[in-house]
Each structure stands twice: as C-alpha cells, then as structure tokens.
Structure 1
Amino acid sequence: MHALQYELVLPADYDMGIVRERVRSRGHLLDDWDGMGVKAYLIRERGVLGSPVNTYAPFYLWNTTEGMNRFLWGGPFQGIVDDFGRPEVRQWSGLAYEEGVAANAPAAVAVRRREPVPEDVELSVLMEEAVRETERLAARDGAVLAAAAVDTRRWELVHFSLWEQGAPKAEGDVFRVLHLSAPGRESLRRGRQW
C-alpha cells in the first residue's frame, strides 16, 4: 500500500462551492481506477470543524504503484495542474490498513494526523506502535477505515482515518468527505504491511 496526498490551500474568501461542484461532476471518474484502493475527496473550510483555512486535499491509498503513476503521469492529476498549478504531492509507504467497525457506512469525515519520527527511537518499535494505533482507530465506534504510513525522506508518520457521520474519535486535522472512490478497497491488504 502507498498513501498519497496533495493539499491545495485556497484563499480565505474562496467559494468552496466551486470545489464541491468539481467533485460532484468529476469525482465519479475515478470510481473504477485500476490500482487505486481508496480516494477520499476532502475539504476543510475556514471556521468549520476548527479549520483555519480553506483547503482541497484528496487523500489516496494505492494498491499498486502502476495505478498511482498512471494517475500522476497520464491521468486526471493533469486537471489539478491545469486548474490550480502543480502542487507538492506527499507520498508515504504503507505500514498498516484496517477496515473499521462501521466499514459499511458512508464516510462523512476524515482525520489526518502527521507526526515526526523522533531520532532517538528504535524504528521497529515505533512502526509496530503505528500498526497498533491503526488497529485501535479501526475498532472505535464510527470508524470506516484506518491506515498508517511513513515518509522516510522527512521521517514523518501519517495516521489517516475515515468516520461515519458525527464526531470522529481521533485527533488531527479534520476534513469533510465529499466523495469516496473505492475501486480496490477490498484488495487493500489488511494489517501490518511488512
């Protein structure tokens, strides 16, 4: 599994209805993208759910690098580049994935928590803890799914979770889910990824 996210920070007075319409009219185009596990179309709105900014920030879990690369180099990502400019694309190597106790519910909210990997820890111990945290998140009421991944360039962990309607039971940046494309969700390998 590979995780990927780009984040477009938009002006404070930006009409987020434009993003909503973009997702409404185009989101379904990736509902059958080969190699993709899940794409969560995420937004944050200034003053809503504690957000200080307006942001469009899709988050992806990929089953294959081929599917990810086809998306980036020959696919829909060019539309983002054409409309907003080329954003920084963050990538993380998968550590763990779990379906949540509310796996069959529609996802309404997402939580992303990024944290640095301290230099003075044994990597295997920290990565095992990230796996356990994924299991704990997935077991909480309202959890649709949970994943953990690591960026070894920046030495950063990311914990990502989707939640049904209501307050998420996780800490981090909270996003609204506008659409969920999940063509390969059932193929995402569960548990520890090494």
Structure 2
Amino acid sequence: MHAMQYDITLPADYDMDTLHARVSRVGRLLDDWEGLGLKAYLVRARGVHGSPVNQYAPFYLWNTVEGMNAFLWGGGFQRLSDDFGRPTVRQWTGLAYEEGVAAGSPALFAVRRRVPLPDGVALSAAARDAAAEAGRLAREEGAVLAATAVDTSRWESVSFSLWEHGTPKADGELFRVLHLSAPGRTALPGGRQW
C-alpha cells in the first residue's frame, strides 16, 4: 500500500462552491481507476471546524505503484495541474490499514495527522506504534477506516482516518469528504504491512 496526498491552499475569499462543483463533475473519473484502493476528495473551509485556510487536499491509498504512476503521468493529475498549478505531491509507504467499525457507512469526514519521528527513536518501535494507532482508530465509534504510513525522506508518519460523523475520536486536521472513489478498497491489505 502507498499513500499519497497534495494540498492546494486557496485564497481566503475563494468560493468553495466552485470546488464542490468541480468534484461533482470529475470525482467519478477515478471510481474505476486500476490500482487505486481509494481516493478521498477532501476539503476544509476557513473558519469551519477550526480550519485556518480554504484547502483542497485529496488523499489516496494505492494498491499498486503502476496505478499511482498511471495517474501521475497518464493524464489524471494533469487536469488538476492545469486548473490549480502543479502542487507538491507527498508520498508515504504504507504501515497499516484497518477497516473501521462503521466500514459500511458513508465517509463524511476525514482526519489527517502528520507526526515527525524524532532522532534516537527505534524505527521498529515507531512503526509498530503507528500501525497500532490505525487499529485503535478503526475500533472507535464512527470510524469507517484508518491507515498509517511513513515518509522516509522526512521521517514523518501520517495517520489518516475516515469517519461517518464530524466528531471523530482522532487528533489532527479535520476535512469534509466530498466524494470517495474506492475501486480497490477491498483489495487494500489489512493489518500491518511488514
């Protein structure tokens, strides 16, 4: 499993309805993308749920590198770059994935938390703790799914979870889910990834 995300921070006076309309128009294009586990079309609006910014920040879990590369180099990402400019794309190696206790419910909210792995910490312990966090989140009421991954270029872990309600039991930045493309969600490997 590979995780990927890019953040597009928009002007404070940006009409977020424009972004909602864009996702309504193009969200279905990845509903059957080969190699994609899931893509959560995430937004947060300035002043809502404590967000300091207007932001579009899709989060992906990929089953295959080929699917991810086809998206990045084969045209899917180009449409976004044409509309918003080319953002930096963050990538993480998967540590754990768990379906949540509310796995059959629609995902309405997402939480993302990025945490640096400090020098001097045993990497095996840090990875084990991050994987355990995915399991803990998945067992919380309202959890649709949870995943953790690590960026070894920055030694940073990311915890990502989807929720059926706006009061998740997870720390981090809260986003609304406008659409969920999940063609390969059932193929995402569960549990620890090593």
User: What TM-score, normalized by structure 2, do the two folds share?
Assistant: 0.99
Q: CA deviation at 1:166?
A: 3.3
Aligned to 1:189: 189
Q: CA deviation at 1:75?
A: 2.4
Separation in 1 of the partners of 2:87 and 2:162? 23
Task: Report the aligned-residue RMSD.
Answer: 0.5
Separation in 1 of the partners of 2:165 and 2:106? 8
Moved over 4 A (4+): none
Separation in 2 of the partners of 1:76 and 1:33? 10
Aligned to 1:33: 33
Whether 1:98 and 2:83 are equivalent positions in the alignment is no
Separation in 1 of the partners of 2:114 and 2:191? 20
Aligned to 2:55: 55
Runs (5+) with no aligned partner, structure 2: none
Tell me the number of residue pairs that the alignment of Structure 1 and Structure 2 aligns: 194
Separation in 1 of the partners of 2:87 and 2:132? 32
Separation in 2 of the partners of 1:83 and 1:94? 29
Whether 1:85 and 2:81 are equivalent positions in the alignment is no
Runs (5+) with no aligned partner, structure 1: none
Q: Secondary structure at the match of 2:51?
A: coil
Cα offsets for 1:120-155 (capped at 9, x unmatched): 110001100111111000000000000000000011
Separation in 1 of the partners of 2:31 and 2:99? 19
Aligned to 2:163: 163
User: What TM-score, normalized by structure 1, do the two folds share?
Assistant: 0.99
Q: CA deviation at 1:78?
A: 0.3
Separation in 1 of the partners of 2:24 and 2:76? 15
Q: Secondary structure at the match of 1:174?
A: strand
